[in-house]
Chain A
Amino acid sequence: MRRILKRAFPETLPVLAGYIFLGIAYGIAMKVRGFHVLWSISISVFVYGGSLQFAMLEPMSRAAEMFAPLTLFFLALLVQARHLFYGLTMLEPYNRAGAVRPYVIFAMSDETYSLVCSGAPRDLPENKWYAAITALDQFYWVAGTVIGALLGEMIPVEYLTGIDFSMTALFVVIMTDQTRGAMESVRDGSMTLPQALFPPLLGLFGTLLGLLLAGRDSFLLFAMAVILLGFGVFYQTDRKSSAKVQREGRVKKP
């Protein structure tokens, strides 16, 4: 096991930096809202999903006056839906993972996926490799959460006002990366321009529409419905246009 951790650790260094930092931001955000560190730790261990944990902050701190577990459930499903596709990619290797299989599925994350999706080194036992990467990543996240909670304890709250913006900044950064990636795919021809632009615009305007029509307390369900409906419609036209591209491609080829 030591040999495997020694090899896995350097691979996880970028995740170490990112997770400790975001974990600290999360730990502080929870502390500022008055949650005991045990809440933050439990959430980081059992929910273990950065975007969702930040999105949960507001529903949790307003639970006294507004309690809507069903909305939260759908929000969580939508925010975490991408895990379905990580699972699909890892079906075969994780089904071979034996005793660690439940844990590596339980503690999947964006960053862990980026490290395990290319497989394990040939000279190491595959299941232990996946377990080591997954456990190290989760350890960084929980450690960051604890450090953040301690920092939040030491620094007076009035200095920390506004630090919650780190959550907005995180989502903005991810969205910027995603859009940049999509535009690169347009340039190399693996994605069409409508495919690149439609999803973020649907997300933006669907949510704004919900905010205008349903108000700031209950717009999320509305927004999610608009987004899913929009994707349903877009799928039809997208399938037609890509079928057309394929047909024309075939005609040209002889």
Chain B
Amino acid sequence: MSLTLKWIIQILVCILATQLTRFLPFLVFREGKTVPPFVTWIGHHLPRACMAMLVIYCLKDVSFAQAGAWVPAIVATVVTSLLHLKFKNMFLSICAGTGLYMILLRLIP
């Protein structure tokens, strides 16, 4: 299979999944239908589990074999979170966190 075709399939898969989540409520809950309590409940709690999963997913290539392979990512992750707790400014947190990561990446062997 050619690489282009693989990319197209991957994009289509993501479009399908995304649009499924966007259109499903409108298809399932037509007038007068009540939403099951489990659905409302998990909708309230799932996003937080999901973001935690994505953070670990991003850090999956961190290796503890040598400092250069984990210090930049771990330090920048902690600093990003602390900056955001303190200043509540997404732009600042992401720019400073990414900048710090890029600097540490070049400084630590």
**Which of A140-192 touch B at CB < 8 Å?**
161-163, 165-180, 182
Residue pair B11, A80 in contact (C-beta under 8 Å): no
Q: A168-B58, A231-B42, A235-B38 are in contact. Are A175 and B51 (CB under 8 A)?
A: yes
Q: A87-B24, A165-B97, A166-B94 are in contact. Are A52 and B49 (CB under 8 A)?
A: no
Other-chain residue from B11, B17, B55, B85 in contact with A168 (beta carbon distance below 8 A): B55
Q: Tell me if A23 is interfacial: C-beta within 8 Å of chain B.
A: no
| Chain A: minimal CB distance from B62 (Å) | 10
Tell me the nearest residue of chain B to A178, going by C-beta. B48
**Interface-centre pick from A43, A56, A64, A85 (highest chain B CB count, 10 A):** A85
Interface-side segment among A2-10, A66-74, A123-131? A66-74
Residue pair B102, A162 in contact (C-beta under 8 Å): yes
For the complex, count residues of A whose C-beta is within 8 A of B.
87
Residue pair B18, A175 in contact (C-beta under 8 Å): no
For the complex, count residues of B whose C-beta is within 8 A of A.
65
**Which of B10-42 touch A at CB < 8 Å?**
10-11, 13-26, 29, 35, 38-42
Q: Which B residues are in CB contact (< 8 Å) with A51?
A: 51, 54
Residue pair B26, A91 in contact (C-beta under 8 Å): yes
**Which of B63-107 touch A at CB < 8 Å?**
72-73, 76-77, 80-81, 84-85, 90-91, 93-94, 97-98, 101-102, 105-106
Residue pair B48, A182 in contact (C-beta under 8 Å): yes
Q: Which B residues are in CB contact (< 8 Å) with A180?
A: 85
Residue pair A162, B45 in contact (C-beta under 8 Å): no
Write out, one digit per residue, whether chain A residues 187-231 have a CB within 8 A of any chain B CB (1) or not (0).
000000001001111111011100100001001100110010011
* In the bound complex, CA of A235 to CA of B44 (Å): 12
Residue pair A77, B20 in contact (C-beta under 8 Å): yes
Q: A94-B26, A199-B45 are in contact. Are A52 and B7 (CB under 8 A)?
A: no
A residues sitting closer than 8 Å to B (CB atoms) are 17-18, 21-22, 25, 39, 42-43, 46-49, 51-52, 55-56, 59-60, 63-64, 67, 69, 72-74, 76-88, 91, 94-95, 105-106, 108, 161-163, 165-180, 182, 195, 198-204, 206-208, 211, 216, 219-220, 223-224, 227, 230-231, 234-235, 238
Known: A172-B81, A203-B53. 17 other contacts (CB 8 A): A25-B94, A63-B3, A64-B3, A73-B14, A78-B46, A81-B21, A88-B35, A162-B72, A162-B101, A165-B76, A171-B51, A172-B77, A173-B80, A175-B55, A200-B49, A220-B53, A235-B41
